[in-house]
Structure 1
Amino acid sequence: MKILHTSDWHLGRTLYGRSRYDEFSAFLDWLYRLIETEKIDALLVAGDVFDSSVPGSRAQELYYGFLNRVARSPVCRHVVIIAGNHDSPSFLDAPKALLRALDVHVVGSPGDDPMDEVVVLRDKRGKAEAIVCAVPHLRDRDIRSVGPGESMEEKNGKLVEGIERHYREVCTAAEQRRLQEGGFLPLIAMGHLFTVGGTTIEGDGVREIYIGSLAHVSASVFPQGIDYLALGHLHVPQCVAGQEHLRYSGSPIPMGFGEARQQKEVVIVEFTEGRRAIRPVPVPCFQQLEQIGGTLDDIVSRIYGLKASRSSAWLEIEYTGEDLPGDLRCVLEEAVKGSPLEIRRIRNSRAASLAIGQVSEDESLEELGELDVFLRRLDAARVPDAQRPTLLQAYQEIVYSIRDDDDGADSTR
């Protein structure tokens, strides 16, 4: 059996206000061709299908259109999708009964019974060929109860214990199902979380899932019997704790300019006669992103070089010169004029301010994370260091309680 692991599509995401639907569409076309070329039996999507809990119509059109193509494919027999922290569990779950008829299995939220997250993949004759533990993103309220006066360490400890218990229960149910089906079957697990030591890149949009940064789980959380673990949430392709069969596929397109030079990939895993072969497959670049920095002369020179090569890149520019040119944007827009180059962001390091009340014209409030804004407000109010941990914890609890609300208007912030 051959499976394909991908995650973190973030359909509907924009880049500094620029639509990326052409990229998403190109990626899904490429993915479908790969499924056919490689004769993939099962596609696993490990969360963050959408960038928002209420995706727009175009994002939905891409999603359902792709599922329709795969369901009609003579090659791929199964699709298993779990919710990520950006997805609305109820939105993904809503059409699950209809999609099940197309052999598309969606798990948006954890069930009351561990077997609700166990998916048996069967061949055309009805014989089981793999067992999948499809564990969606586990929210605070799914795995722990809050007690009065708990410290941050106690809360994080409960979170990790809850995650470990949940995976153990689901995998135990899957093992029992494997015994019922008889014979050797690959046991595949899916999840959407942040593991200890995971690699991220500044500006990739990956955010903390739980209150506090200590609630990262170690590889020991996952039961030993798993033959392959398909993870989502981190956008950099990587293994967990150096173990080849515990993997993040990463996002298929760069989520920000910090990932501009990162090779994106999906992962193909093939099971044959008790053996497992894992092969990352590079994803083509569908939209070039370029970061340019330096003095005004350096930046303009680089832009002319890109124009000469007929590049259609989107640009993030950081001016680091000593002068403070008032017409910086006008000069740079004139430099790209007559080419398909697009300036998506300009940062003026000389003009940047650490105080929220002194945000420069090249740094808008919407470009700052909510934690950045809160910390700047603490600085502006000259809040003593001794008071900050308590205020920060209270603030984070409010933010994450809002994010956990399934009916929220948008989970991007």
Structure 2
Amino acid sequence: MKILHTSDWHLGRTLYGRSRQREFELFLDWLAELVESRGIEALIVSGDIFDTTTPSNASQRLYYRFLHRIALSSDSPCRHIIIVGGNHDSPSFLDAPKDLLRSFDVHVLGAVNGEPEEEVLVLRDANGEPEAVVCAVPYLRDRDIRTVEAGESMEDKNRKLIEGVARHYAEVARIAEERRQSLGCDIPVIATGHLFTAGGVKLEDDGVREIYVGSLARIGASAFPASLDYVALGHLHVPQRVGGEERLRYSGSPIPMGFGEARQRKLVLEVEFEGHVPKVTEVEVPCFQPLEKLAGSLDEVTAAIAVLRSAGSSAWLEIDYIGDQPASVVQEALEAAVEASLLEIRRIRNNRPLRQAMGQLDEDETLEQLDPEAVFERCLDVRKIDETLRPVLLESYREVLRSIHEDDVRAEEGGAG
């Protein structure tokens, strides 16, 4: 049985206000052709199908057109599609057509419902014989896996989150093993997951959120029972193994979500089994819209742009200008550098206003290296705020941060991810 593992499509995502609809369309067309050309029999999508809980009509059309082509086309060898919700997805939106889609062997699980048996599927071949058991585990929300107690510390919360995730996987693995034994055939058990693992790699500007608000919980490889022969993970956008294990894999996002992922090799993963041992083949996704991140003085950046122009590049550019020239001068020079080319500047970051506002002394210091409270304190320093006023202002600022955090928690509890 040939399985294709992908995740984190983020349909509908924009980049500094620029639509990426064409990229998503090209990717899904390429993916459908790949399924057909490589004889893929089961497609697994491990969460974050959409970028928001309220996807646009255009994003919905892409999604359903793709499912129609894969599930109903006579040219498609794919017998099963398994889709689980991620932290960006609306469980109710994904689940709304699940009964209809199931009749076409499209299995959708937007969120857990307290019945882990419903997450365990038996996939059958064209002759009706069992060929795999799948634990279709979506993003596990905080409320799904732990109870809140008054006065608990952050350490308590982290511990309970990690224990809750491990407990859920232990339960679905137990059910899957019982199903496998009842079938009387030695077939692989596959699981999905949408979470942040210990040691997982993320990049600047990739849009990957802390998955549990106000927590730094990381799930270790030990949370996934050994009886799970392959775990198709989503949430992190960099393709990677967990703990070096071949059976625990992130496919990563298929297109770069931000300039932090520029020039990153994007993959989908083809999985076949030799007994219970997964054989994983990395399939590189074409680059549908190149991104380039340039940094340096005005002369250095314009020289880099000239090289891209001479190569006929159509890249979108993010530019980190390092220098003291006024922003208007920098912008005018850079716009002239790309004029009449295929290049497009999406963002110019000028460190001059930042240095003026923050009073930075370290040449290498950036805003991203400072936490929100440190930024506020730096502003108080630069503006020489009287020491007697600082405690009141700092506490007011902390109250604003707490309010933002509470809004995030409410969004999380409402399924906004």
TM, length-normalised to structure 2? 0.89
State the secondary structure of the residue aligned to 2:269. strand
Show the counterpart of 2:38: 38
State the secondary structure of the residue aligned to 2:282. strand
Query: What is the Cα deviation at residue 333 of structure 1?
Result: 1.3
The one-letter code matched in structure 1 to 2:9 is W
Show the counterpart of 1:362: none
Query: What is the Cα deviation at residue 400 of structure 1?
Result: 3.6
Q: Is the 8 A contact 1:88 1:406 kept in 2?
A: no
Q: 1:355 to 1:171 in 2, by over 3 A?
A: farther
Aligned counterparts of 1:398 and 1:13: Cα–Cα separation in 2: 25
Show the counterpart of 1:254: 256
State the secondary structure of the residue aligned to 1:217. coil
Moved over 2 A (4+): 211-214, 272-276, 321-327, 353-358, 371-384, 390-397, 405-408
- After superposition, residues 77-226 of structure 1 pair within 5 angstroms as 77-226=79-228
Query: What is the Cα deviation at residue 245 of structure 1?
Result: 1.1
Q: Which whole-Å deviations, capped at 9, do the CAs of 1:210-252 have from their partners, x for residues lacking one? A: 1344311100111110110100000000000010110000000
Show the counterpart of 2:268: 266
Aligned counterparts of 2:174 and 2:97: Cα–Cα separation in 1: 28
Query: What is the Cα deviation at residue 397 of structure 1?
Result: 5.0
Q: 1:383 to 1:92 in 2, by over 3 A?
A: farther
Query: What is the Cα deviation at residue 11 of structure 1?
Result: 0.3
Q: Which stretch shows the higher mean deviation, 13-22 or 349-358? A: 349-358
- Aligned residues: CA RMSD: 2.7
Q: 1:348 to 1:397 in 2, by over 3 A?
A: closer
Listed as ranges, the gaps of 5+ residues in structure 2 are: 361-366, 381-389
Show the counterpart of 2:386: none
Q: 1:261 to 1:321 in 2, by over 3 A?
A: same
Aligned counterparts of 1:395 and 1:220: Cα–Cα separation in 2: 36
Aligned counterparts of 1:28 and 1:114: Cα–Cα separation in 2: 31
Q: 1:165 to 1:94 in 2, by over 3 A?
A: same
- After superposition, residues 229-308 of structure 1 pair within 5 angstroms as 229-308=231-310
Query: What is the Cα deviation at residue 387 of structure 1?
Result: 7.7
Q: Is the 8 A contact 2:359 2:378 kept in 1?
A: no
Q: 1:350 to 1:141 in 2, by over 3 A?
A: same
Residue identity over aligned pairs, in percent, reads 56
The one-letter code matched in structure 2 to 1:404 is E
The one-letter code matched in structure 2 to 1:321 is G
Q: 1:199 to 1:273 in 2, by over 3 A?
A: closer
Show the counterpart of 2:410: 402
State the secondary structure of the residue aligned to 1:247. strand
Q: 1:154 to 1:387 in 2, by over 3 A?
A: farther
Q: Which stretch shows the higher mean deviation, 371-380 or 150-159? A: 371-380
Q: Which whole-Å deviations, capped at 9, do the CAs of 1:367-398 have from their partners, x for residues lacking one? A: x99x96676456557559x989x979955751
Q: Is the 8 A contact 2:188 2:275 kept in 1?
A: no
Q: 1:198 to 1:392 in 2, by over 3 A?
A: farther
Q: Is the 8 A contact 1:7 1:48 kept in 2?
A: yes
Query: What is the Cα deviation at residue 341 of structure 1?
Result: 1.0
Query: What is the Cα deviation at residue 122 of structure 1?
Result: 1.1
Aligned counterparts of 2:45 and 2:391: Cα–Cα separation in 1: 44
State the secondary structure of the residue aligned to 1:404. helix
Show the counterpart of 1:351: 353
Q: Is the 8 A contact 2:327 2:350 kept in 1?
A: no
State the secondary structure of the residue aligned to 2:328. coil
Aligned counterparts of 2:33 and 2:121: Cα–Cα separation in 1: 25
Q: Is the 8 A contact 2:15 2:258 kept in 1?
A: yes
The one-letter code matched in structure 2 to 1:71 is A
Show the counterpart of 2:363: none
Aligned counterparts of 2:321 and 2:401: Cα–Cα separation in 1: 35
Q: Is the 8 A contact 2:197 2:242 kept in 1?
A: yes
- After superposition, residues 315-330 of structure 1 pair within 5 angstroms as 315-330=317-332
Aligned counterparts of 1:309 and 1:54: Cα–Cα separation in 2: 39
Aligned counterparts of 1:166 and 1:144: Cα–Cα separation in 2: 11
Aligned counterparts of 1:375 and 1:234: Cα–Cα separation in 2: 28
Aligned counterparts of 2:321 and 2:161: Cα–Cα separation in 1: 43
Q: 1:47 to 1:280 in 2, by over 3 A?
A: same
Q: Which stretch shows the higher mean deviation, 250-259 or 211-220? A: 211-220
Q: Is the 8 A contact 1:192 1:231 kept in 2?
A: yes
- After superposition, residues 379-394 of structure 1 pair within 5 angstroms as 380=379, 382=390, 394=402
The one-letter code matched in structure 2 to 1:227 is D
The one-letter code matched in structure 1 to 2:196 is F
Q: Which stretch shows the higher mean deviation, 137-146 or 44-53? A: 137-146
Listed as ranges, the gaps of 5+ residues in structure 1 are: 359-367
Q: 1:148 to 1:325 in 2, by over 3 A?
A: closer
Query: What is the Cα deviation at residue 111 of structure 1?
Result: 2.2
Q: Is the 8 A contact 2:6 2:269 kept in 1?
A: yes
Q: Which stretch shows the higher mean deviation, 65-74 or 101-110? A: 65-74
Show the counterpart of 2:11: 11
Q: Is the 8 A contact 1:8 1:232 kept in 2?
A: yes
Count, aligned residues: 398
Q: Is the 8 A contact 1:232 1:248 kept in 2?
A: yes
The one-letter code matched in structure 2 to 1:21 is Q
State the secondary structure of the residue aligned to 1:350. helix
Q: Is the 8 A contact 1:287 1:313 kept in 2?
A: yes
Query: What is the Cα deviation at residue 277 of structure 1?
Result: 1.2
